[in-house]
Amino acid sequence: MKKIDSNNEARANRKATRTVLIALGITLLIVGIILVMIEPIKRMKRKKISTDALNYIELQIEASNPEEEPQMTYVVPRTGNEVEGEGYDFGGETEEVTEEEYGGTVTLNSIGILNISAINCRYSVWDTASQVSLRYGLGHYVDSVMPGEIGNATILGHNYRDGSMFHKLGNLKAGDAVKFTRTDGIVLTFYVTESKIISADDLLDYASGNITTDRQLTLVTCTYEYGRYGWRRVVICKLSEDCLPYVTEETAATTESAPAVTQPEPTAESSIEPTDTIPEPTEEPTIPPPETTPESTPETTPAPDEQEESSETTSENIP
């Protein structure tokens, strides 16, 4: 009788143990699914907000009155859709979020729309490259000029492996068209003249507004060919001469009266000097912009997707 009771007790203990293990396994599975889904859900929310913002800004530009200064603002959540590693952003402002502000909103101001048909890239360009603004579009580097003005205008964007934002920036070739629609509806067409990878330490030599007396546009994002967080893809574009008549007298007077250039254009000596363990980035040849007008320039076939980046990179890459 004692032996039967002992066997029953052992079976009961084994059953209880199995029940606990099953419950623990189910709990871990649920937690794992939640953790795996956090980033895709955030990405989906960011994409929806950036698309809605772009559509709204487009409508505002179409409905704007030339005699009035358009208000191109859009309200976005301050927290909740953070990008992994966004603290490494160049030129990004790190917003100090107080307990009262947590979960609040931020009003972003658009300076226009950037459209690069060759890589299927079309986003609103916000007037600052802060952590919040870069989640929902592209950001204008505040120490550069406005697109179309004399000098260098710099626009920054994230590098997402899902192909959005500036992920395909490296696919651009010399001669590809980059269009910027101002808030007054004027479309400025730039042409790619150079694409290169540089050290993040050298980025100011390419991003500042006074590095050239041309009407230049510089696009910047992160890249990971030579390591994490230390490299940037830089694409340099020049304004088409056909767009010069669209530069207003007010803009021309403001830019032409600006202080003389105090910083020379980057030279080969100012470019990145790779170490013995890092291969020197290859630079694409510089090709002058095509002589045809933007209207006669054929649409460029979108470039193929880039090869998958190393598994060591994060799921979302930050400029």
pLDDT at residue 14 in the model: 78
Instruction: Please say whether the beta carbons of 274 and 281 come within 8 A.
Output: yes
Best CA proximity match to 239, nearest among 157, 129, 148: 148
pLDDT at residue 1 in the model: 60
Gap between the Cα atoms of 9 and 317, Å rounded: 56
Query: Where are the domains positioned within the chain?
Result: 2-317
Best CA proximity match to 210, nearest among 263, 148, 254: 263
pLDDT at residue 70 in the model: 66
Residue type (1 letter), 20: V
Distances (CA, A) of 241 to 52, 53, 208, 265, 286: 33, 31, 22, 21, 18
Gap between the Cα atoms of 107 and 74, Å rounded: 6
Instruction: Please say whether the beta carbons of 135 and 108 come within 8 A.
Output: no
Longest dimension (CA), the chain: 105
Q: Kindly tell me if the per-residue pLDDT of 284 is higher than 60.
A: no
Q: Span 39-56, mean pLDDT?
A: 92
pLDDT at residue 154 in the model: 98
The pTM of this model reads 0.69
pLDDT tens figures, 174-225: 999 999 999 989 999 999 999 999 998 999 999 999 999 999 999 999 987 7
pLDDT at residue 102 in the model: 53
Confidence of residue 151 (pLDDT cuts 50, 70, 90): very high
Gap between the Cα atoms of 139 and 129, Å rounded: 4
pLDDT at residue 296 in the model: 39
- What is the SS3 assignment for 236? strand
Q: Span 224-246, mean pLDDT?
A: 84
Superfamily for domain range 2-317: Sortase (2.40.260.10)
Q: Kindly tell me if the per-residue pLDDT of 242 is higher than 70.
A: yes
